Amino acid sequence: MIVQPYVKTSLSPGSGVVTYYLTESGVIPPLEQLGFNIVGYGCMTCIGNSGGLDENIVNAIESNDLVCCGVLSGNRNFEGRIHPNTRANYLASPLLVIAYAIAGRVDIDFETEPLAKRADGSVVFLRDIWPTRAEIHEVERTYVIPAMFKEVYSRIETGSGMWQTLDAPAGIFNRA
């Protein structure tokens, strides 16, 4: 399966911990194959910092007054939030964001319409690739472990070597 070239994709995990468990569970390579590459963290995509659209697509949108949309798993969906040319925006779960990207449209009925076609011409429905709750629980149990969060966040105030070399004079905001 592929994402159509007119669909802009990006991945902005909430933190490095999320990247860690997505990587460890083997999810990152198939996401990257679909074009969902990590472009930053947190609100990177939802505030429009994931990069521009192809110039030909922008020209087509503007010259034809098209109402184009974004589908994101963020928490805000108002016009122009993720890009000035996305006038309709929809919130969805991360799995549905990927499904809509593969479908290349938002007016699909996932129950009755195929999501995509395989190279051999056979159709793929969303139900064919949707993970079961048990599969999701197993990934969570195996890869999203409390020790990982404790390890990462135990170093949060230490910072990197570069951070440690910053001169921070004592004052009312920094009491050395």
The average pLDDT across 11-34 equals: 92
Q: For the domain 16-164, what is the CATH superfamily, name and number? A: Aconitase, domain 3 (3.30.499.10)
User: If we measure between CA atoms, which residue out of 8, 16, 57, 75 comes closest to residue 37?
Assistant: 8
The average pLDDT across 145-174 equals: 77
Output the six-digit token pair for 59: 């020209």
Phi-psi region of 137 (alpha: psi -120 to 50; beta: other; left: phi over 0): alpha
Q: Is residue 32 predicted with pLDDT exceeding 80?
A: yes
| 73, 91 contact by CB (below 8 A) | yes
Q: Helices 16-24 and 146-154 meet at what angle, rounded to 10?
A: 140
Q: Is residue 176 predicted with pLDDT exceeding 60?
A: no
pTM of the prediction? 0.80
Output the six-digit token pair for 167: 């001169």
For all residues of the chain together, what is the average pLDDT? 88
What does the pLDDT look like over 88-124, one tens digit per residue? 889 999 999 999 999 999 999 999 999 999 999 999 9
| 119, 134 contact by CB (below 8 A) | no
Residues 6+ apart with CB under 8 A from 86: 68, 69, 70, 79, 80
Task: Write down the domain spans for the chain.
Answer: 16-164
